[in-house]
Amino acid sequence: MYTTRPAKPASSTAARKVCGSPTASMMTSGPSPLVSVWMASCSEPAEELIVSRAPHLRAFALIVAGDAGKRLGDDAGAIRNYREALAIAAQRGDAHAQISAYIALAWSQGEAKQFDAGIWTLFATGTLATRAGIEPVLRLYQRYSPTLLFVTLALTALIPLLLGRETFTYYYARRQIPRWQLKVPEFHDVSRVLTAYWTLLFFTAASLAAFAPTDWHFTFLYPNLMIFGVGMTATVWLPLLYFKVFPPALPSAVEPLIMGMPLVFDRKAARDTRASIQFRVSGSEPGDYYLDIARGRCRSFEGVAPAADLTVYTPDTVWLKIARGELDGERALREGLYRAEGDFGLLSKLPEWFPARR
């Protein structure tokens, strides 16, 4: 982030500049065009800013055409329009069009992030205030831009949480965790806890920046140490802490039940066993899954194992009842409720290796 610098004398209030902060990049998966544009605007003379950032109608026309094509099902045409608009905006130095084209392109690819929209709103508000010459808003941006950035991030996180909508954490979760984990109720609970935690961090960072708006320790160093220290690492330790306080219930669907078996694997009981166990599931939720056990570790996969030592053919409802303890596994096998092929010794070891959760 930048500390406040004395504003250059200008012939009119419209020539004043609104500076932003590069810290926004830490929650947008690297330096995004939004942040690059914002940083670029802080490096130019105020008088040149007004001229070089004049809206370019062709770029906006291409964005509108892309939106129309997207709604009509012409995804390829929409992407071409968005990319051309982004190229024109970058070439002409049009901040408004560049940000809008970037968001439109990200949206067309399913990659738009809530933080992009929040930062765009902050940038647009400052730009409109600059052009309109609204003195109080200009002074607010000039002195407290780091604070405004963190408040924007906090509100972007908080508002969907209060409205019961998907929060920003969903975007990253869908790209970082296995698909089956998205189907368990605990995923939504942990996502909301993480969002509340990040909201608290952002408001704390905003408070630090507001306390000493001209001291880079409070506008840059301390907030970044907090964000990267206790923020970024929270995805590792916070879910574990949450599940320790609130143990997860047994999954109600067969896919997360089988794919989550490594989470309850007893490596001491399995010792140095090497085995591949295939599950061929039928019923309302059919699927193929297998477990690979080796060197005291257990991993789960979707699909068919190259060479399974044991294959279990089961309806989804039967295996769910066995896992919950509502149905005895040996009795169900004798009654033909499910069947198995291969090493039956492995089948008898499953309750020992994977203790049932109640």
Report yes or no: 222 and 7 within 8 Å, Cβ to Cβ: no
Question: Can you name the residues that pair with 315 across neighbouring β-strands?
Answer: 282
- According to CATH, the superfamily of the domain at 254-353 is SCP2 sterol-binding domain (3.30.1050.10)
Question: Can you name the residues that pair with 339 across neighbouring β-strands?
Answer: 313
Mean pLDDT, contiguous 10-residue spans, the chain (358 residues)? 39 39 38 37 40 53 71 78 72 66 72 84 84 89 93 97 95 89 91 96 97 95 94 93 90 92 91 94 95 94 94 96 91 95 93 79
Q: What is the pLDDT of residues 302-358, one digit of tens each?
A: 999 999 999 999 999 999 999 988 999 999 999 999 999 999 999 999 999 998 765
Q: Which pairing describes strands 275-282 and 310-315: parallel, antiparallel, or unpaired?
A: parallel
d(C-alpha 12, C-alpha 56), whole Å:
23
The tokens for 143 are: 């002195």
What is the residue type of 269? A
Domain range list for the chain:
13-244, 254-353
Report yes or no: 357 and 322 within 8 Å, Cβ to Cβ: no
The tokens for 2 are: 């930048």
Which 3-state string (H, E, C) describes 222-279? HHHHHHHHHHCCHHHHHHHHHHHHCCCCCCCCHHHHHHCHHHHCCHHHHCCCCEEEEE
